[in-house]
Structure 1
C-alpha cells in the first residue's frame, strides 16, 4: 500500500494528519511537524535488520523485553520516527504509536542516503527522549557503534568491526558478530 502525501498541505503536520497517511512502502517520519520521506530499504539493509532481530529476540524475551522491526516511536509530541529495530519493555501490541519511555535500545542501519539523519538528527532526538542505548550499524561493512546515554547525550560505548564481537549486557545479554549480519558473497 502506498500513501499519497498531499503537496498542498500547510505546515506543520499534526500527529493525527501524519497517522492518517496510513501504511506506505516508503518510510515517512514526523520531525516536529515536518515530514521526512525515504524510500524502502535495500535487501542488504533488510538482511542486517533481520539478522539483528534473530540475535536479540530470544535474549530480550528472557528478560521480559520485546524486539520490534520498524515501529512508530513517539519521541515527543509532533515527533514520530521509525527506527530499524527497537527493544522495548511491555507495550500495547495493537497501538499505532509506542512511547519513547518504553524504548530501551534503538538501532539504525546507516547507508549513504541516510547516514546524516541517523548519525546526527536521530541521535539527537533519541538522546533527548532519554533512550538508554543507541546502536548504529554501517550498511556496507556492518561496523557496529554502540552508544550509551550519559548526561542527556550519547557517548561511544563500543565500536566493533567484522572479526570482533559486540558483547551486550544491557538492555539484554547477547553477542553480535558483525560479519554474521552481512549477506553471503
Structure 2
C-alpha cells in the first residue's frame, strides 16, 4: 500500500467502523462506509443531481409538519460497519448544529438520487441495507428523459425487506412519513 496516505489504512484488519468516520478529517467530503470499506464520491456530481437534491430538500421542508426535520448529506449509522450518506433524510430528532449523523432508528425516510457511479449501490446495496436497518421508507430517484422518476419502497417489518410502493413520474403523493405532494416535473428545469 505504498503511496497511500496513512489515514487511508484501516485501523484494524477487519476494516473501518462507523465511529471511525468522525476521526478522519483528511477524508474527502461525502465519504461513506459500506461493509467496513470507505467509499469516496470522487467523480463530480452533475448539476442535475445537485439541483434535484436541493429541490427535494426544500419541498420536503416546506411540507413537513412540526416535529419533522429534513437533512441533506448526513450519514446514517446502520450498524458498526455501515454508515452511508443519503442525499436527503427525514427524521423526528430535533435539530442540533453539532450533529454529524443519525442512528438508523432515528430516520423515517431516506432519499437517494442515482448517479452513474452510485447506481448499483443505490438500487441494490443500499436498498437492502436500509431495509435491514429498519428505516421505514426509501425513495430511489432516477432519471427518464431529463425528468425525475421516483421508485418508492415501504418496509415490510416481518421480512425486514422493502416492498415496492410505486413508481412515480410527473407527480408523487404519499401519506407517510407525512402528507407529501410533489410536482416532479417542476423539481429541475
Fold conserved (TM > 0.5)? yes
- Secondary structure of 1:138's counterpart equals strand
Which 4+ residue blocks in structure 1 deviate beyond 3 angstroms?
4-11, 23-26
Corresponding position: 1:154 with 2:158: no
| Aligned partner of residue 100 in structure 2, secondary structure | coil
Change (3 A) 1:49 1:104: same
SS in structure 1 at match of 2:73: coil
CA RMSD of aligned residues (A): 2.0
Q: Secondary structure in 2 aligned to 1:13?
A: coil
Aligned to 1:179: 185
Q: How far off its partner does 1:7 sit?
A: 4.4
CA displacement, residues 65-89 of structure 1 (integer Å, 9 cap, x when unaligned): 1000000110112211100000001
Aligned-partner SS, 1:81? coil
Q: 1:68 — aligned with what?
A: 71
Contact 1:63 1:172 in 2 (8 A): no
Tell whether the 8 Å contact from 1:45 to 1:109 is kept in structure 2 after alignment: yes
1:114 is matched with: 118
More displaced 10-residue stretch of structure 1: 66-75 or 151-160 = 151-160
What runs of 5+ residues in structure 2 fail to find an aligned partner? none
1:59 matched to 2:63? yes
